[in-house]
Amino acid sequence: MGNRLVCICNMVSENEILSALKKGATSTEDIQYATRAGTSCGKCLMTIDQIVEEYLSGKPEDSQQKLF
Ligand code: FES
């Protein structure tokens, strides 16, 4: 897990996304609602998708090397 900035438009870090996942978010749409990440230009949506998928598959640490 890291504190990298995932959504530059809305200043949302990976830790904030992981926190939303721990609170019960199960999709990119849930993350958008909870954090506003991915609600502006949309360039971070693929990264958010990866973080969600990896978290739900039990491997959140694998996402650290994949930003952009
Ligand atoms: S970088 Fe996330 S919406 Fe633009």
Domain annotation for the chain: domains and CATH numbers: 5-65 (1.10.10.1100)
Centre of ligand 1 from the C-alpha of residue 57, in Å: 24
What is the pTM (predicted TM-score) of this model?
0.82
Work out the widest C-alpha separation in the chain, in whole angstroms.
Answer: 28
Beta strands in the chain (DSSP E): 5-7, 12-13
Centre of ligand 1 from the C-alpha of residue 28, in Å: 13
Ligand 1 pocket test: pick from 4, 29, 33, 43 the residue with the most ligand atoms within 8 Å of its Cβ: 43
Q: What pLDDT digit, counting tens, does each position of 8-62 carry?
A: 999 999 999 999 999 999 999 999 999 999 999 999 999 999 999 999 998 555 5
Ligand 1 pocket, CB under 6 A? 7-10, 37-44
